A = this chain, B = another copy of it.
Amino acid sequence: MARSRLTPEREAELYAAVLDLLREVGYDALTMDAIAARTRSSKATLYRQWGSKPELVAHAMRHNKPIKLVDVDTGSLRGDFHAVMAHTDDCQMEKDSALMRGLFHAVHDSPDLLQALRELLIEPELNGLAEILQRAVDRGEVAADNPALKYVTHMLVGAIVARQLIEDRSPDRDFLTSYFDAVILPALGV
């Protein structure tokens, strides 16, 4: 795979620069030229490694995630969620929320970006979440036929979007922990 020619350090540096630029100018105004200049790469390299701007941005967003859901396995559903939260930083969450809002604004005009975010960011998260929930079912914490199992993502997305839309605030650890205990665990019968 072409991407393996970069060292992990160089890749991390490049992704960080992409996100910095994205925060500065927004997705629409972000150009491969600007990324090439900022990262002292050639545009040819960028296109060879990532194919397109949406894919590069989605890879940068995925790299930026502080914790992979799939790495979490504490032995209980509440424990798994608290482990995710323990690795999350409120300031970082606020910055990431602003980035995500900008990107979900941009997908309105860029189906390619939506597709790249679905493939590289949303689906891996959904799979990680599905594994956490499957382990809870296997342990007998959650009934296999609990009808809320297929709506956990909807509940989580709602927490994040409604917090911003209605309360005009970014989600933070206290809020998400309270929501998880008040809504998600009871709906799952835990």
Is B159 in contact with A151, judged by CB distance below 8 angstroms? yes
Q: Which residues of B contact A162 (CB under 8 A)?
A: 153-154, 156-158
Instruction: State the Cβ distance, A161 to closest chain B Cβ, in Å.
Output: 5
Is A183 in contact with B155, judged by CB distance below 8 angstroms? yes
The verdict on A153 contacting B166 (CB below 8 Å), with A105-B108, A158-B161, A161-B158 known, is yes
Does any Cβ of B come within 8 Å of A36's Cβ? Answer: no
Does any Cβ of B come within 8 Å of A67's Cβ? Answer: no
Total count of chain A residues near the partner, CB < 8 A: 31
Does any Cβ of B come within 8 Å of A186's Cβ? Answer: yes
Instruction: State the Cβ distance, A119 to closest chain B Cβ, in Å.
Output: 13
Is B178 in contact with A147, judged by CB distance below 8 angstroms? yes
Is B187 in contact with A122, judged by CB distance below 8 angstroms? no
The verdict on A179 contacting B154 (CB below 8 Å), with A186-B148, A187-B186 known, is yes
Q: Which residues of B contact A2 (CB under 8 A)?
A: none
Interface 1/0s, chain A 170-186, versus B by CB < 8 A? 00000000110111001
The verdict on A159 contacting B166 (CB below 8 Å), with A148-B183, A186-B189 known, is no
Q: Which residues of B contact A158 (CB under 8 A)?
A: 154-159, 161-162
Does any Cβ of B come within 8 Å of A23's Cβ? Answer: no
Instruction: State the Cβ distance, A176 to closest chain B Cβ, in Å.
Output: 11
Enumerate chain A interface residues (CB-CB to B < 8 A).
Answer: 101, 104-105, 108, 122, 126, 146-148, 150-151, 153-159, 161-163, 165-166, 178-179, 181-183, 186-187, 189
Can you name 8 extra interface pairs (CB under 8 A) apart from A148-B182, A155-B183, A161-B161? A148-B183, A154-B159, A154-B162, A156-B158, A156-B162, A182-B187, A183-B183, A186-B186
8 contacts between A and B (CB under 8 A): A151-B179, A153-B162, A154-B162, A154-B183, A156-B162, A157-B158, A158-B158, A186-B187
